[in-house]
Amino acid sequence: MKTTESESVNRKQGSSDDVSDYTYTHNALRQIHVEQKRWSLRGFSISGLSTYFQIPELDLCVDMGECPMSALSLNHVLLTHSHGDHSRCLMRHNSLRRMMQNPTQAVYYIPEPVYSLAIDLIKAETLFEGVSEERFDLPRLECVKAGENFDLAYRKDLEAFPFNVKHSIPAYGYTVFCKKKKLKKEYIDYSREQIISLKKSGTEVTNDIREPIVSFMGDCLGESLWEEQHIWKSPVVVCECTFLDPDEVSMARKKGHTHIEHIAQALAKVGDSISCQSIILTHFSMKYSKKHILNTVNKIIPEEFKEKVKVFL
């Protein structure tokens, strides 16, 4: 992982560079963009402040700790867990879309352990804003269960797989798949006319395949990174890295978060079976400067993985 001189700032308290770095790192409405081969990840993620991710090409958001205007055109929201820095703007998203008269009803995918609580919270929030109970209209919520795949409502070519991760409260990670049809091996050398003829005769000439696109770990203990090894088959893995300093390993466990040492351990444990192209580190504690984050990641991540690792800052 390389850093540039312009990315380096003075961590010394009270310096003008430190103030500039703090403002940049902690402004939740100043989006970070990380370009991938076929799509871009946009958003923000600082622990305790706000986390939200957007992939416009997939019509998808993951978490909604803030709701910038760029989220309003996206129709699917996957919630990892109910902590406010990940969830508090779910209904802001819904309200703004309605205010702008968006004719499509967005779909909010809520983990089963907090689904009924989400309904109670949404109703209370609506009444708090002065909407009468008679006019209360629940947005489209889908209760999702860990281990059960589901199609995205408006993108039948996309499928999500929710899975349990270890956090301080019930929490999910998600892997998003692209669904395709692939010609069966026995028909690879057939001409177009032959394929059409077979299809007309009722012969199934294709297989359904699912290709992973991206895995989001959400908030979790570092051990989830090697317990859920299927994530490393995704081209892109987005995982939290809340704590960095050597004396904070026990704090990470206490809070249900990942320490950078756990990232390094996961990479060592999974090793050669890691086929992803990018590992995007997010959710750093707000107490760190950008310089400290970049330097620590560069120091701790094993050399053979540094080209894959990207810091979401």
42 has pLDDT over 80: yes
The CATH code of the domain at 5-311 is: 3.60.15.10
DSSP string, 88-146: TTHHHHHHHHHHTT-SSPPEEEEEGGGHHHHHHHHHHHHHHTT--GGG----EEEEE-T
Coil, strand, or helix at residue 221? coil
pLDDT at residue number 182: 77
Give the whole-angstrom CA distance, residue 62 versus residue 155: 15
Q: What is the DSSP letter of 5?
A: G
Assess contact for 160 and 81: CB atoms under 8 A.
no
More confident residue, 17 or 248: 248
Span 190-233, pLDDT tens digits: 888 887 887 888 888 777 789 999 999 999 999 999 999 999 99
pLDDT more than 90, % of the chain: 73
Coil, strand, or helix at residue 52? strand
pTM of the model: 0.87
Assess contact for 50 and 64: CB atoms under 8 A.
no
Span 107-120, pLDDT tens digits: 999 999 999 999 99
Q: What is the mean pLDDT of the chain?
A: 89
User: Taking residues 148-173, what's their average pLDDT?
Assistant: 97
Q: What is the DSSP letter of 53?
A: E
pLDDT at residue number 86: 98
In order of 78, 102, 157, 229, the CA distances from 108 in angstroms are 6, 15, 18, 26
pLDDT at residue number 77: 98
59 has pLDDT over 90: yes
More confident residue, 162 or 190: 162
Q: 21 pLDDT band (50/70/90 cuts)?
A: low
14 has pLDDT over 50: no
11 has pLDDT over 60: no
User: Taking residues 288-307, what's their average pLDDT?
Assistant: 94
Would you list the domain boundaries of the chain?
5-311
User: Quick one: which H or E segment has residue 216?
Assistant: strand 206-216
Q: What is the DSSP letter of 20?
A: H
Assess contact for 39 and 50: CB atoms under 8 A.
no
pLDDT at residue number 25: 59
User: Taking residues 1-6, what's their average pLDDT?
Assistant: 40
Coil, strand, or helix at residue 198? helix
With 0-12 CB in 10 A as exposed, 13-18 as middle and 19+ as buried, what is 142?
A: middle
Assess contact for 297 and 260: CB atoms under 8 A.
yes
